[in-house]
């Protein structure tokens, strides 16, 4: 069994400040720096023992007295050979690995230690380090074998206080991983080590202010305090060396950094979860954002977003992978969009007659969509897909609507929801008007046309599958619809502004009769659109006189001026910047990183990474190859815990950076490690709380999609009051 021992190298000497570890940190309790460090390390369960490696000489005897008071082991060793003293500490305690911090720095960043120790063991590392935090707060974990090899092969300079010097100069001999520090703690401009009298003043002030949180004062609290006290940071500014211990060239020459779990505080989220269901059915206004769609340890609500990052109500930061169900295409709070919205709000949001911007943008939108002759604006996707169905029924004089049963969602209205298991409140007569087919097999649609001759009004379908496939099936579906006299409707809600410009159909050279748009076209603002042929769309107009009038998507807020201004700014950004090119490059990098991690952890066919040029979709399976909600939830849990808001899909935005890609792929690599362990030892040992549940389930108690109809599990799922 491997044991981690904290080895504290101690000496009283010092040319700038004598007896630094023995200096008092708490003047009231007469608590020294070394004593505070011992009390802090004793709170960390990963550390099996603390050993003091004390330099020889009578001036260092106080360190042995400290060890005795705390019931610790101490050894005597050469003052110059610090590396040798660490090895002695390990040998005296029977350690397999050594936790190394400098005893001149009281405030070690211990939060990621448990994960770092696990990664160190699981990945077979020689050295695992935290880097990028304020000077003095980082730590390193070495194997005893790596320390001995460094001592034997190195020169005298490799045995001094910089114990990792030999390792960093001989990367080809060692396996190293440097763990990510949360961005808000990457503060190389701050100094928390004691080498000068001014350093001691700063550390004492920090301790005095945060004493109530001792013996484990959080680094985030220290950073916040120092940011509010520029007078203190100015004292030590001349001594700050804003340089990483592990430059990028070192960090990248060995395996990519594995992200540690950085999300630990969710107190506000827990309170939000406890309150939300008392006021909001489902706890959210969109079911796919609900608590049952995320791990128990996920944030309950978000406070703000900027670019590709979001912050929860506890202040935790995440890289966003789903971008508000794909509705944010440029980035949260994207400047040009907000500028356009502010300008329109200054003029007014809604009027008794149409806003001037309605015609202005209608011209632009119709011009951008191949084959479109008319456009109708609305506020949500269900409004425009249902409007398309209504138009098709009026145009053809038929009642039935056909859509793929293997696709996720088309509308919250009866014509679609009636086809799901969640159809309570929908009359059977309405449900009978909807037919489903398999989008990957056009012959199943042709069978519907043959069985329901001259009764199908339209075929509505998303242009692309979740799992990338040839466009041939879609072409055949469009051909069948026209052959049998049905209206062909392309739902570009997800693919619009992502799979091509302006959508997937244009990229494939397919012209639908009607098309529905939303999500990415508004960059998070509530804006959707229905486009189509004039002869169909004009049934909802007031100029035609030959046919009964269709009451088409008439809503108070359909022409909300500032939402139209947002959509106009989004379109113009796409037309003047290479947004889609950036999306594709980002997706390719994320997909490559994920696929490499899957291969490295032997998870091929168990964690499927399906990459289209514009989107990545993951599928999680158990050891038997069956889809597993438990393992999927675990993957989400581990990603989210490492500061990546992930729900199984990656959709890029224009604000995603290379650094975001590194963070996503590093988190995915670490999550694959846990996934592998869960396969070997059981997911229940790793998963916090219950697995996620299907959105479209008959009862809230259902844990899976019904395996058959009638469902043999109904008695189990239904919980009578």
What is the C-alpha radius of gyration for the chain, rounded to an integer number of angstroms?
31
β strands within 576-717, DSSP E: 607-612, 615-620, 644-645, 649-650
Q: How far is CA 355 from CA 72, 380, 553, 569, 693, in A?
A: 77, 19, 17, 16, 43
Name which of 59-68, 193-202, 257-266, 316-325 the model is least confident about: 257-266
Whether 370 has a pLDDT exceeding 80, the answer reads: yes
Identify the CA nearest to 576 among candidates 418, 364, 412, 397: 364
Quote the pTM value: 0.67
With b for 16 or more beta-carbon neighbours within 10 A and e for fewer, the 42-62 pattern comes to: eebebbbbbbbbbbeeeebeb
The set of long-range contacts for 153-162, using a CB threshold of 8 Å and a minimum separation of 24, is 154/83, 156/80, 158/83, 159/80, 159/81, 159/82, 159/83, 159/84, 160/80, 160/82, 160/83, 161/9, 161/82, 161/102
Segment among 253-257, 633-637, 681-685 with least mean pLDDT: 253-257
pLDDT tens digits for 522-540?
999 999 999 999 999 999 9
Whether 251 has a pLDDT exceeding 50, the answer reads: no
Q: What is the dihedral of CA 88, 89, 90, 95, to 10 degrees?
A: 150
Q: Which residue has the tokens 């020294």?
A: 32
Per-residue pLDDT reduced to its tens digit, 442-486:
999 999 999 998 999 999 999 998 888 889 999 999 999 999 999
**Would you say residue 668 has pLDDT above 80?**
yes
Supply the pLDDT for residue 9: 93
Give residue for tokens 């001149």.
Answer: 104
Q: Reply yes or no on whether the pLDDT at 628 is more than 80.
A: yes
Torsion over CA: 678, 679, 682, 688 (sign): positive
Residue 511 C-beta-side C-alpha neighbours within 13 Å = 7
As a whole number, the mean pLDDT across the chain is: 91
Whether residue 458 contacts residue 402, with contact meaning beta carbons closer than 8 Å, is answered with yes
Q: What is the DSSP string of 457-481?
A: EEEEE-SS-SS---THHHHHHHHHH
DSSP 135: B
Token pair of 46 as six digits: 């990963």
439 close to 477: Cβ distance less than 8 angstroms: yes
- Residue 257 pLDDT > 60, yes or no? no
Q: What is the pLDDT of residue 248?
A: 39
Q: What is the pLDDT of residue 276?
A: 94
pLDDT band at 252 (very low <50, low <70, confident <90, very high): very low
H, E, C per residue of 370-423: CCCCEEEEECCHHHHHHHHHHHHHHHHCCCEEEEECCCCCCCCCHHHHCCCCCC
Q: How far apart are CA 267 and CA 62, in angstroms?
A: 42
- 635: phi then psi, degrees, rounded to nearest 5: -60, -45
Phi and psi, residue 653, nearest 5°:
-130, 170
pLDDT at 250 over 70: no
Q: Which helix (H) or strand (E) holds 55?
A: strand 49-55
Torsion of CA 236, 240, 245, 246, to 10 degrees: 140
Give the chain's length.
Answer: 721
Mean pLDDT of 642-651: 96
What pLDDT band is residue 310 in, cutting at 50, 70 and 90?
A: very high
HEC-encoded secondary structure of 223-270: HHHHHCCHHHHHHHHHHCCCCCCCCHHHHHHCCCCCCCCCCCCCHHHH
DSSP state of 548: P
| Placement of tokens 């289209």 in the chain | 612
- Over range 384-409, report the average pLDDT: 96
Distant-in-sequence, close-in-space partners of 470: CB < 8 Å, separation ≥ 6: none
Report whether 207 contacts 106 (CB < 8 A).
yes
Residue 211, both tokens: 């004493």
């Amino acid at each position: 069994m491997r044991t981690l021992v904290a080895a504290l190298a101690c000496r009283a000497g010092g040319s700038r400040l004598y007896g630094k570890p023995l200096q008092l940190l708490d003047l009231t309790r007469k608590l020294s720096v070394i004593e505070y460090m011992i009390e802090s390390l004793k709170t960390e369960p990963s550390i099996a023992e603390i050993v003091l490696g004390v330099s020889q000489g009578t001036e260092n005897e106080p360190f042995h007295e400290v060890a005795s008071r705390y019931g610790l082991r101490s050894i005597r060793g050469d003052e110059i050979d610090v590396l040798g003293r660490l090895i002695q500490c390990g040998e005296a305690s029977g350690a397999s690995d050594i936790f190394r911090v400098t005893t001149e720095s009281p405030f070690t960043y211990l939060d990621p230690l448990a994960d770092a120790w696990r990664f160190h063991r699981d990945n077979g590392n020689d050295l695992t380090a935290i880097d990028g935090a304020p000077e003095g707060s980082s730590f390193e974990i070495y194997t005893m074998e790596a320390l001995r090899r460094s001592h034997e092969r190195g020169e005298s300079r490799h045995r001094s206080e910089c114990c990792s010097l030999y390792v960093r100069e001989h990367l080809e001999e060692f396996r190293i991983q440097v763990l990510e520090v949360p961005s808000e703690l990457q503060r190389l401009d701050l100094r928390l080590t004691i080498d000068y009298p001014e350093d001691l003043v700063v550390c004492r002030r920090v301790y005095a202010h945060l004493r109530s949180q001792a013996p484990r004062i959080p680094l985030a609290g220290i950073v916040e305090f120092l940011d509010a006290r520029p007078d203190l940071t100015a004292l030590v500014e001349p001594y700050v060396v804003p340089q990483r211990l592990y430059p990028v060239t070192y960090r990248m020459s060995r395996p990519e950094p594995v992200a540690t779990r950085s999300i630990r505080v969710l107190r506000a989220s827990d309170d939000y979860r406890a309150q939300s269901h008392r006021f909001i059915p489902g706890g959210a206004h969109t079911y796919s954002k609900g608590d049952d769609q995320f791990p128990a340890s996920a944030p309950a609500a978000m406070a703000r977003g900027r670019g590709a990052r979001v912050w929860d109500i506890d202040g935790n930061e995440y890289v966003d992978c789903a971008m508000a169900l794909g509705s944010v295409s440029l980035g949260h709070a994207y400047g040009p969009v907000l500028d356009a919205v502010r300008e329109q709000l200054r003029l007014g949001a809604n009027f008794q007659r149409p806003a001037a911007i309605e015609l202005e943008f209608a011209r632009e939108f119709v011009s951008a969509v191949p084959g479109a002759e008319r456009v109708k604006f609305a506020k949500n996707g269900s409004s425009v897909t249902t409007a398309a169905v209504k138009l098709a029924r009026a145009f053809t004089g038929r009642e039935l609507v056909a859509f793929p049963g293997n696709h996720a969602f088309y509308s919250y209205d009866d014509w679609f929801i009636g086809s799901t298991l969640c159809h309570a409140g929908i009359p059977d007569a309405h449900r009978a008007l909807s037919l489903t087919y398999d989008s990957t097999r056009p012959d199943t649609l042709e069978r519907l046309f043959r069985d329901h001759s001259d009764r199908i009004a339209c075929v509505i379908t998303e242009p692309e599958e979740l799992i990338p496939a040839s466009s041939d099936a879609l072409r055949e579906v469009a051909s069948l619809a026209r052959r049998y006299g049905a209206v062909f409707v392309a739902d570009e809600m997800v693919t619009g502004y992502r799979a091509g410009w302006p959508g997937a159909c244009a990229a494939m050279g397919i012209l639908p009769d009607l098309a529905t748009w939303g999500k990415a076209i508004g960059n998070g603002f509530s804006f959707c659109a229905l486009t189509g042929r004039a002869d169909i769309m004009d049934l909802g107009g007031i100029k035609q006189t030959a046919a009964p009038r269709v009451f088409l998507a008439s809503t108070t807020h359909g022409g909300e001026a500032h939402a139209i201004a947002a959509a106009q700014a989004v379109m113009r950004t796409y037309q003047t910047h290479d947004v889609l090119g950036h999306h594709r490059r980002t997706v390719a990098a994320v997909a490559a990183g994920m696929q490499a991690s899957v291969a490295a952890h032997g998870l091929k066919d168990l964690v499927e990474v399906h990459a289209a040029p514009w989107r990545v979709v993951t599928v999680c399976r158990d050891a038997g190859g069956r889809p597993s909600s438990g393992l999927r939830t675990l993957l989400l849990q581990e990603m989210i815990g490492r500061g990546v808001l992930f729900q199984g899909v990656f959709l890029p935005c224009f604000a995603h950076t290379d650094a975001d890609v590194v963070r996503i792929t590093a988190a995915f690599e670490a999550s694959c490690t846990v996934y592998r362990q869960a396969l070997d030892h059981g997911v229940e040992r790793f998963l916090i709380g219950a697995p996620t549940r299907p959105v479209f389930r008959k009862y809230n108690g259902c844990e899976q999609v019904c395996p058959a109809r009638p469902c043999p599990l109904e008695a189990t799922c239904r919980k009578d009051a």
